[in-house]
Amino acid sequence: MRTYLQSVDSEWYNQRLVRVFVVVLVAFAVLTARLLHLQIIEGDALRRLSEINSIRLQDMDAPRGLIYDRGDHMLVDNRPSFNLYIILKDARPLDPTLHKLSLLLKEPVDELKGRILNSKKRGTYTPILLKEDIGRDMLAAIEVHKFELPGVQVHVTTKRHYIYTQHAAHLLGYMGEINPEELQCKPFEDCKSGDSIGKFGIEKAYESFLRGKRGGRQVEVNAIGQVERILKTVDAQPGHDVVLTIDWTLQQKAEEMLAGRAGAAVAIDPDSGKVLAMASSPSFDPNQFVTGIKREQWNDLISNPFRPLENKALQAEYPPASTYKIVTAIAGLEEKVIDARTTFYCPGHYKYANRHYRCWKRGGHGEVDVVRALAESCDVFFYQTGEALGVDRLAKYAKAFGLGGATEVNLDREGKGLIPTAEWKKRRFGVPWQGGETLSIAIGQGFNLTTPIQMAVLAGAVGKSGLRYKPYIVEKIKTADGQVVFQSSPEIAGGIQLHPTTLNLVHQGLWQVVNHPKGTAWQSRIKELDYSGKTGTAQVVGRREGDEKDPERVIPKDHAWFMAYAPSINPKIAVAVIIEHGEHGSSAAAPVASAMIKTYLGADQIAPATAGQSMGGALEIPAAVRPGLPGPGEKLSGMRQ
């Protein structure tokens, strides 16, 4: 019996031992299999993860290219910006870290948590932006408490800085965060979410040059995510610098003269097409857009009735008013509808069909020829000239001077304006052209629309005997170390070959606009300088006071135009100025242009005027203004006194 029991115990013990052995064997097999899986199958991935714990890659933003005026005067540069980030994997425990941050930043903890939750980048090792541009004082506070803020980092980057705040804002443009649609476009394939790109003006047009190429560095971090050492660096490549054709002194003068008024002023070099100044008023501060404009600021800008975000020099379209009479005069002379001997009597109105078309001078100008009609801006003379020409012949000459089409100055959203034809009206409205509409077109009203830059180009072309250059705004583009990668050169955009007699008569009329006592811009003459120009008053459509539909609405004042070139002999600058609701070109726009001309030419280029002053006898102009004109005291053949 005893032997039997011992045998049973031994068998039971052996069975237990075998079971234990099997369990141990299975456990070792599982562990071995797991080790093989981790080391062989997932070895590379796990090795990378372990390296991430200590070695990380950090982006290095490229400094954006700078912007200068023609004299290498810096207009736009970059400033350091300190951005606060958090890495969730390192920020343990998270709640105490956020609580400490909220005290330093003086912001609620819930707002900080909300930024983390709303972040598009939620990876545990991906830095999440908590606050941009924290400033040097806040940076110092973060550094003092950095050991109490695990996972919190400050990245130093650059932000755009517009040195002169509101000056040339429409020309220089502004920056903004890239949107998802732009990220899909090829020009931005090297950008990532959160990057800032040019959204307007030069910043947008030359984005590919201004934007550099980002770099990076490999760093070793400690247990709380702080950088211990830099292992490898690939330097960022800075963007190219852009040098504009703008004369900064002239730009500032234009903006000074426009201050407090809505309007625009453009100046170009008629010998090349270089844009010397491009001012639009009212303006805005592009620095507001750098770190994200506030909702209140944005609402103020878009609700402003004077449209501060619009570049009026380039985008706004206005009836050219009497400045268009230059085109009518040239067309009439070239088409032989009028000549030096042609005169029309102006009693203050012109009857066409059953309607009286008024002249701006109610008492009339009396008997006028083309020179006096330009000088005194007689509507009746140009009504009859336009009637004889017809709308299509007028359009032909207007388009030859670049009106009705973009100047292609390479800035965004340029307006084209409108030069109507009979075929255009038929296509647009389905009705034929009416003869009375031609009378309005001939004096720059009706369907006519032009931009200030188009009118500056027109002024330059007239001053240069019909030759028109394509305007351009960038002189050259160079690398950060000064190597030129792009150099602009003048490009003839078109024009028209005009008969010398046409040029002589038109130049004489435009000279008298400014330099003769009865010229419409006489008050804006420069005593030391002969320059030529043309005023204009563009009618603004509105309801009369007491209108039943809108009894409180009053007709707004007309827009004021002035265009000029200076000096009259071999001009060096052409200017166009529009003052919205300025009423009269002679009193509102001409003084702006006169001040710009004096600023640009300076005392060294301003010579004493040589013009005669009497309009009671023969019409007089300096003999040297254009070949073939009579000298002072001589009569122009066939011209009425």
Q: What is the pLDDT of residue 127?
A: 79
228 has a pLDDT exceeding 90: no
Q: What is the DSSP string of 272-297?
A: T-BEEEEEEES---GGGGTT---HHH
Let me know whether 159 and 72 are in one domain. yes
Let me know whether 37 and 155 are in one domain. no
In a domain, 583, yes or no: yes
Average pLDDT over every residue of 313-334: 97
Contacts of 143 (CB under 8 A, 6+ apart): 154
Q: What is the pLDDT of residue 123?
A: 59
**What does residue 243 show for φ and ψ, rounded to 5 degrees?**
-105, 120
In a domain, 628, yes or no: no
Greatest pairwise CA separation for the chain in angstroms = 160
- Residue 596 pLDDT class (50, 70, 90 cuts): very high
pTM, rounded to two decimals: 0.81
Q: Calculate what percentage of the chain has a pLDDT beyond 70.
A: 85
How many beta carbons lie within 10 A of that of residue 491, not counting itself? 12
Can you name the residues that pair with 274 across neighbouring β-strands? 472
Q: What is the pLDDT of residue 81?
A: 84
528 has a pLDDT exceeding 50: yes
Q: What is the pLDDT of residue 276?
A: 98
Q: What is the pLDDT of residue 613?
A: 34
Helix H or strand E segment including 111: helix 109-118
Which residue, 625, 375, 419, 418, is CA-closest to 515?
Answer: 375
Let me know whether 67 and 30 are in one domain. no
Q: Give 614-632 pLDDT, tens digit per residue.
A: 333 333 444 433 333 333 3
Residue 588 structure tokens = 């509102």
Which listed residue (322, 377, 586, 594) is catalytic?
322
221 has a pLDDT exceeding 50: yes
Average pLDDT over every residue of 292-301: 88
248 has a pLDDT exceeding 70: yes
Query: SS3 breakdown of the chain: % helix, strand, coil, rounded to 5?
Result: 35, 20, 40
Q: Give 120-171 pLDDT, tens digit per residue.
A: 555 566 778 888 888 888 888 888 888 888 888 887 888 899 999 889 999 9
Let me know whether 235 and 384 are in one domain. no
In a domain, 175, yes or no: yes
Give yes or no for a contact between 272 and 465, defined as CB atoms under 8 angstroms apart.
Answer: no
Q: Which residue has the higher pLDDT, 226 or 601?
A: 601
Q: What is the pLDDT of residue 541?
A: 62
Instruction: Tell me whether residue 377 is one of the annotated catalytic residues.
Output: no
Let me know whether 196 and 79 are in one domain. yes
Strand order in the sheet with 227-234: 55-60, 215-221, 227-234
Give the C-alpha separation, 257 to 281, whole Å: 10
- Residue 638 pLDDT class (50, 70, 90 cuts): very low
Number of domains the chain is built from = 3
- Residue 504 pLDDT class (50, 70, 90 cuts): very high
Domain end (from 177, 209, 241): 241
- Residue 386 pLDDT class (50, 70, 90 cuts): very high
Pairing of strands 227-234, 532-538: unpaired
Least confident residue range of 1-10, 130-139, 193-202, 383-392: 1-10
436 has a pLDDT exceeding 80: yes
- Residue 517 pLDDT class (50, 70, 90 cuts): very high
Name the amino acid, one letter, at 357: Y
Q: What is the pLDDT of residue 639?
A: 29
550 has a pLDDT exceeding 70: no
In a domain, 161, yes or no: yes
Let me know whether 385 and 447 are in one domain. yes
Give the C-alpha separation, 320 to 328, whole Å: 12
Pairing of strands 532-538, 559-566: antiparallel
- Residue 611 pLDDT class (50, 70, 90 cuts): very low
Contacts of 388 (CB under 8 A, 6+ apart): 332, 337, 338
Contacts of 106 (CB under 8 A, 6+ apart): none
Let me know whether 446 and 558 are in one domain. yes
Please give the sequence-ordered ranges of beta strands (E in DSSP) within 410-459, or none if there are none.
none
Let me know whether 113 and 178 are in one domain. yes
- Residue 2 pLDDT class (50, 70, 90 cuts): low
Average pLDDT over every residue of 500-509: 96
Let me know whether 135 and 120 are in one domain. yes
Average pLDDT over every residue of 365-369: 96
399 has a pLDDT exceeding 90: yes
Helix H or strand E segment including 309: none
Q: What is the pLDDT of residue 603?
A: 55
The CATH number of residue 66's host domain is: 3.90.1310.10
Helix H or strand E segment including 357: strand 355-358
Q: What is the pLDDT of residue 143?
A: 82
267 has a pLDDT exceeding 90: yes
In a domain, 19, yes or no: yes
- Residue 226 pLDDT class (50, 70, 90 cuts): low
Q: Which residue has the higher pLDDT, 324 or 539?
A: 324
In a domain, 290, yes or no: no
Q: Give 182-208 pLDDT, tens digit per residue.
A: 888 888 888 887 788 999 999 999 999
Let me know whether 223 and 257 are in one domain. no
Let me know whether 237 and 255 are in one domain. no
In a domain, 177, yes or no: yes
Q: Calculate what percentage of the chain has a pLDDT beyond 90.
A: 56
Domain that includes residue 237, residue range: 56-241
Q: What is the pLDDT of residue 334?
A: 97
Give the C-alpha separation, 133 to 114, whole Å: 19
The pLDDT mean for the chain works out to: 85
Residue 160 structure tokens = 């755009």
In a domain, 616, yes or no: no
CA angle 153, 157, 161 (to 5 degrees): 140
Cis (ω within 30 of 0) for the bond into 93? yes
634 has a pLDDT exceeding 50: no
The CATH number of residue 463's host domain is: 3.40.710.10
583 has a pLDDT exceeding 90: no
Let me know whether 130 and 30 are in one domain. no
Q: What is the pLDDT of residue 78?
A: 94
